[in-house]
A and B are shown apart, each in its own frame.
Chain A
């Protein structure tokens, strides 16, 4: 069976990863001189506690070649095909590093590395779909092709408390047009072809959640979706309920934003990711 690898910026719930035999390579999160492996040495809850107490803002870095090699070498004992799907190369060097690791060593295993052009559960849903294909016995190349095609049909819509973390981390992209409001607003941004794009602003959280639902409702064919949250579980619950009535019979994953992504979103974020493949 083809094995699926991703990085921790996919925000896949641990339980789902275990069931579908997805290997998650942790990103690194750094608070000053302390370095943690995302999800292994630092949980999202601990992350937000540290964030509140930390005088410096955390930074992130991609897994190292060594980290990918360890995972690839271990899997190569069990399979001769790996599809490794990663956070958009516009946000991180994880994809590049995975390509480098895939090309080194003398494995007999073939490794196909894919740049998802998305992130968070947008990436997560792609990885889950790939893992299901693998379970059905699909070949690596077909899976990789399917992922590349579906990546364009993946949507991510997120309501932020502040865009300050995105800005400071240098990932704000076109959404910088939403900066600078002198009254309190809740900015809503999306991911499009590996770029953060501005979608709008609302003055109340309730309206922001409505807007997320409206955006989700405007998507065409949706085969799976996920609600994501960082330090906003109640709102995520409300959003989950509204989306469920909008997409009856469709499974909606619930995911907590991992530390690597949270370092760029800050607290009190809630979003919806849709997969149309």
Chain B
């Protein structure tokens, strides 16, 4: 060990123990993102849950890393590569294991490593991963590995310390993830970024947090899903129908050879047996993954070469069927599309689940450009589109879209997220554009919105004097309470409001808000206002610790 974390000198050297800790932190960070990554999975669904697969691969990687007796970087990296290979699950897990294999090659024989060594090793990881696949596909975890490691090497020519190198790596990974839909049509159709790529980005970011001594942040926050660089277009059932092909079985196992194993030879002999073939490992152990109609033949062939471990066979037709059902259930084939501006991944999920056709990310400032909204409008197959801006400042930009497109566009001027929810619920599948826009607009006042944040500067608004950092609550845009804590002001305004005729309070808690605190708020509301039903939902919105709706 070379001194305390986060307080290293320039170009500090890192040991095997540092490598363990880096990836242990990275794994904790990944674990928090697993549900989000799983949700990114698109048709076809060869591996089920990508996030879970990557997490389990990382756990096996760490088990071996901590089991390695010595502390030099090369030996720990070697152990990690072994653990990754043995524990690899799913396409992304297998590719991840190859990145670790390359990393181990790069660090071989080293007692400790510096920034440049790590950058080179990462690049080696990318190279090995590409080689492992018969037909590498761009727009996946591979692309992210390649572009991130290229950025690492580039940064290492200017910097010698690992922290700035990793900063450049993580930034490049993020951009690369955002671009994945432009490279892979299935992602574009599904309107999501690549799940495996997202997983790799989260791992790198977790490692970076640890290197910067931000372990508290890993504990309290959670990784963000990278928004796609193209607008998120919902999946349409008609797209599903066109692409229905037979799938067969996803067959995966670890082969421990009786004699020396020849990966190339085995790859060649299996290549005619199915698709998505991956054969990786060394002459003692191979990890094999293939989509085939006859898993029996594959297993038969493999047993003649050695002992099989961790055999996993899944019927992909079943998975595909389930997925098709899910998509059909979610995407209403309406004649009118809805484009919704949303800030926060949780809120995005809510709008999606209520049938929004396209989500335009509001971003940090909540002000998407007219161009972004125009792109979203143009991206849907429908000729009639309703836009929900969900913010007062976005309404004008949304209105401009009407003049820039040949499509018929109506803007329902929702000023808050809850108003947007209320409007979307009023959407009628059978009604025409004008009727729908009118009905949705008339649904806006049916809900009261409370927004809670902290003051960024001192101010005097109406009868309130606000100090910087104080918690403030707005009701339908009007300042209604000032206090010490966000939960306090939220409860305060709720009690002051006329809720006699209301039934339900929905509390969307923000990105920076701890779930435990939000649960406390929900309990507080139930206690103080027992006639109201309280629903707690992760909103993930920036800035606002709470957005609540009363209706």
Contact = CB atoms under 8 A, between A and B. Distances in A.
Interface of A: 176-177, 179-185, 198-207
B425 interface: yes
A179 B352 CA distance: 12
Given A177-B355, A180-B329, A203 B349 contact: no
Given A180-B353, A183-B535, A203 B429 contact: no
B428 A181 contact: no
B425 A203 contact: yes
Interface string B397-439: 0000000000000000000000001100111110000000000
| Tier of interface size on chain B | 20 to 34
B353 A182 contact: yes
Contact of B429 (A185, A198, A207): A198
Contacts of B329: 176-177, 179-180
Contacts of B537: 182-183
B332 interface: yes
Contact of A204 (B331, B421, B426, B504): B504
Contacts of B422: 203
Which 8 A/B pairs are nearest by Cβ-Cβ distance? A177-B332, A204-B503, A182-B353, A179-B329, A176-B329, A201-B425, A181-B353, A180-B353
A185 B504 contact: no
B265 to A, nearest CB: 48
Contacts of A200: 425-428
Given A200-B426, A201-B425, A203-B425, A183 B506 contact: yes
Contacts of B446: 207
Contacts of B282: none
A200 B429 CA distance: 8
Given A198-B429, A203-B422, A204-B551, A182 B349 contact: yes
Contacts of B502: 204
Nearest to B325: A176
Contacts of A182: 349-350, 353, 537
A204 B537 CA distance: 16
Interface in B532-546: 533, 535, 537
B347 to A, nearest CB: 10
Given A177-B331, A182-B353, A200-B427, 15 more contacts: A177-B332, A177-B355, A179-B330, A182-B350, A182-B537, A183-B350, A183-B353, A183-B535, A184-B533, A185-B425, A200-B425, A200-B428, A204-B502, A204-B503, A207-B551
The residue in A180, A182, A183, A206 that gathers the most chain B C-beta atoms within 10 A of its C-beta is: A183
Given A180-B330, A184-B535, A205 B353 contact: no
Contacts of B504: 184, 203-204
A202 B422 CA distance: 8
Contacts, number: 60
B184 to A, nearest CB: 25
B328 interface: yes
A160 B503 CA distance: 17
Contacts of B506: 183-184, 203
B12 interface: no
Interface string B75-119: 000000000000000000000000000000000000000000000
22 contacts: A177-B332, A177-B355, A180-B329, A181-B350, A181-B353, A182-B349, A182-B350, A182-B353, A183-B421, A183-B535, A184-B504, A185-B354, A198-B429, A200-B425, A200-B426, A201-B354, A202-B425, A203-B422, A204-B502, A204-B503, A205-B503, A206-B503
A241 to B, nearest CB: 17
Contacts of B429: 177, 198
Contacts of A179: 329-330
Interface in B494-514: 501-504, 506
Contacts of A207: 446, 551
From A177, A179, A199, A205, name the one whose CB has the most chain B CB atoms within 10 angstroms. Answer: A177
| Chain B interface mostly | mixed
B253 to A, nearest CB: 35
Contacts of B328: 176
Contacts of B551: 203-204, 207
A201 B429 CA distance: 11
A45 B426 CA distance: 34
Contacts of B326: 180
A184 B549 CA distance: 13
A117 B132 CA distance: 59
B252 to A, nearest CB: 30
A168 B140 CA distance: 36
A207 B355 CA distance: 20
Nearest to B428: A200
A206 B428 CA distance: 19
A181 B425 CA distance: 10
Interface in B342-373: 349-350, 353-355
A204 B349 CA distance: 20
**Residue with the highest number of chain B CB atoms closer than 10 Å, among A182, A202, A207:** A182
Nearest to A200: B428
B4 to A, nearest CB: 43
Nearest to A201: B425
A205 B532 CA distance: 12
A202 B537 CA distance: 17
Nearest to A202: B425
Nearest to B330: A180
Contacts of A176: 328-329
A181 B355 CA distance: 8
A57 to B, nearest CB: 18
A185 B351 CA distance: 13
Contacts of A185: 354, 425
Contacts of B330: 179-180
A180 B355 CA distance: 9
A268 to B, nearest CB: 13
A200 B353 CA distance: 14
Nearest to B508: A183
A12 to B, nearest CB: 30
Contacts of B332: 177, 198
Nearest to B425: A201
Contacts of A184: 504, 506, 533, 535
Contacts of A201: 354, 425
A75 to B, nearest CB: 42
Contacts of B533: 184
A206 B332 CA distance: 26
A89 B446 CA distance: 40
A183 to B, nearest CB: 6
A183 B347 CA distance: 10
A268 B462 CA distance: 46
Contacts of B425: 185, 200-203
A164 to B, nearest CB: 12
A28 B328 CA distance: 31
A206 B551 CA distance: 10
A182 B331 CA distance: 14
Contacts of A183: 350, 353-354, 421, 506, 535, 537
A174 to B, nearest CB: 8
B36 to A, nearest CB: 13
A177 B330 CA distance: 6
